[in-house]
Structure 1
Amino acid sequence: MLPSLCVAVSLLCPSADPFPAKPEGLKLAKPEDGVDTPSTPAPAGAIVLLDGKSLEGWTHRNGGKAAAWKLASGGAVEVVPGTSDLLSKHMIDSPVRLHVEFRTPWMPGSKGQGRGNSGVYLQGRYEVQVLDSYGIEKPGEGDCGGIYGIAKPKTNACKAPLAWQAYDIDFTPPVFEGGKKSKPGVISVTLNGVLIHENVTITKDNTTSGLGGDPSTPGPLLLQDHGNPVQYRNIWLMKK
């Protein structure tokens, strides 16, 4: 296939760069939509889960194998499609504030859920969606910023693909007493400085493709391999 066609149908051209310096055909509604959200350094006392130097703090979902995602430039880690989800060795067992930086690839030949799809799962169960949802006027639960299957974001605060974005998530796990849930979990989410969820009640014990299991037990942070080369960097959390 001619190189000129690879841009238009990058899904069919594995060699096409998903993070080109000059993406052909990408149109911005506003220039700032293509500008990176500034990176936020981990504060004193934070637990750093991903520093971009190694993946020693992570394993794969299937069989607990050593993490095989790609260490990319700028301290980023890139999903290697087909390797399976990554699980943090650190377990979330109490209320936390989580910071995650990510960017979606330029996939002009793809649409909907096939365009820059990944996800951040708290305790491996509750997904905050990662997706190229740039330009969507009324985002749903399955769009970027959605709490999958639970709540759609108040507004579309997404940057354009290729721009670095940032989630700041306040998460309180559900409380169980005597084997029964006495308090549901609660999530608030800020995307690129915009509050898109405020004190949303977690109405499920597991969202689609989550780890499942006993919801009263601690769980890892899960980064989803949904078949697209999404990048992550600078992931840390603070216990509240």
Structure 2
Amino acid sequence: MNATVTSITRRSLLCTLTVASLLTALSARAAEAKRDDTFLEAKDAGADFQVQGEYVGEKLGVQVIALGNERFRAVFHQGGLPGAGWDGQAKIEIDGATADRKTTFATADGKGYSAEITDGTTLTGKTDAGASFTLKKILRESPTAGAKPPVGAVVLFDGSNADAWAGGHTDKRNLLASGSKTKQLFGDFTLHVEFLLPFRPFARGQGRGNSGVYMQDRYEVQVLDSFGLKGLNNECGGIYTKAAPRVNMCFPPLSWQTYDIDFTAARFDDAGKKTKNAIATVKHNGVLIHEQYEIPGPTGGGAPEKPTPGAIQLQGHGNPVFYRNVWIVEKK
């Protein structure tokens, strides 16, 4: 066999191996994209769940997002965590991965912030200036979690039954599943809702624990696992596609979270013409995210505006999102 033939054979073999490697990689990515690992309780959620979460130290907070297959993203907040010291300025995001029981975060060029987590409770690292830091993992709780309904409130769900809900059903934990709306209709009100998002590390965007709280079945406050994300108007706390929250207060998945909503319905004249927009003030986990926001019209999937009361809907979106301690006070 001459040198030319040998060279062609080698190039052909190399090409075949390259294509095979590429196909294998694409196949692996496709298989990963189809993964639907969904966890409803922390005890079952695995090692990645133990790493993800919130870490805080002196004038610095970090949110670690699990992305599946021992991959993560760390989001650095100067001053502290969102709603607890963050200065609201630009965030620093660094990807990382776990190997040999250590999760490491570093930029591709080795410059900038770096960090590592070795025990699931402590994050250590250095800033871009070389200053060392040590952060401890915390589990935040909403200050209004477990809030008792005041005198005169209508208790919509307390764990005993789902009778107040059309199509409502509970699971073995006596939690209300998403995908139902109240039988009773409401005008102006204050509403307290507590919700639990699943841990779905391979899911992305709107597939990551999607639900929503609809006021009057017309205006949605989005419910979504947006932990560590930008806080857009279609993410958790957003008045869906209308207004982004002032700050992304989404806790990590499998943490109980709260919405406290003060709602004033749209007003109409005798001819049925709208004269005032509906108004909503919303607190997410006790932090103000919308103040007296005028909602210009129904959000996506919402019922048409009318001078009539409407239901509270806990949107079902194919995701196992659950609710507890739901009550409402009508404003007379």
What is the TM-score of this pair, normalised by structure 1? 0.83
User: In 2, Cα distance between the equivalents of 1:120 and 1:198?
Assistant: 17
Deviations 1:21-61 (A, max 9, x none): 253212112233x344331111111111111111111113x
User: In 2, Cα distance between the equivalents of 1:11 and 1:221?
Assistant: 33
Alignment match of 1:207 (pick from 299, 308, 317): 299
In the alignment, is residue 196 of structure 1 matched against residue 218 of structure 2? no
Structure 1 alignment gaps of length 5 or more = 1-7, 61-66, 80-84
Equivalent residue, structure 2, for 1:4? none
Give 1:41-120 correspondences, 5 Å limit. 41-60=148-167, 67=168, 69-73=169-173, 75-79=174-178, 85-93=179-187, 95-120=188-213
Equivalent residue, structure 1, for 2:238? 146
Q: Percent identity?
A: 42
User: In 1, Cα distance between the equivalents of 2:291 and 2:158?
Assistant: 28
Deviations 1:146-194 (A, max 9, x none): 0002100000111110000010000000011121111111001000110
Q: Is the partner of 1:21 in helix, strand or coil?
A: helix
The structure with higher relative contact order (CA 8 Å, sep 6+) is 1
Equivalent residue, structure 1, for 2:321? 230
**Conserved 8 A contact 1:10-1:108:** no
Deviations 1:176-228 (A, max 9, x none): 11211111110010001100000000101x21122x24522211000111010
Larger radius of gyration: 2
**Conserved 8 A contact 1:48-1:237:** yes
Equivalent residue, structure 2, for 1:29? 54
In the alignment, is residue 170 of structure 1 matched against residue 270 of structure 2? no
Equivalent residue, structure 2, for 1:184? 277
In the alignment, is residue 18 of structure 1 matched against residue 53 of structure 2? no
In the alignment, is residue 158 of structure 1 matched against residue 271 of structure 2? no
Segments ≥4 residues shifted beyond 3 Å: 8-14
Structure 2 alignment gaps of length 5 or more = 1-30, 56-136
User: In 2, Cα distance between the equivalents of 1:47 and 1:184?
Assistant: 25
Shift of the alpha carbon at 1:9? 6.5
RMSD: 2.0
What is the TM-score of this pair, normalised by structure 2? 0.61
Change (3 A) 1:70 1:10: farther
Shift of the alpha carbon at 1:88? 0.1
More displaced stretch, 37-46 vs 178-187:
37-46
Shift of the alpha carbon at 1:19? 2.5
Change (3 A) 1:10 1:231: farther
Q: Is the partner of 2:54 in helix, strand or coil?
A: coil
User: In 1, Cα distance between the equivalents of 2:42 and 2:36?
Assistant: 14
Change (3 A) 1:123 1:142: same
Which structure dedicates a bigger proportion of its chain to helix? Answer: 2
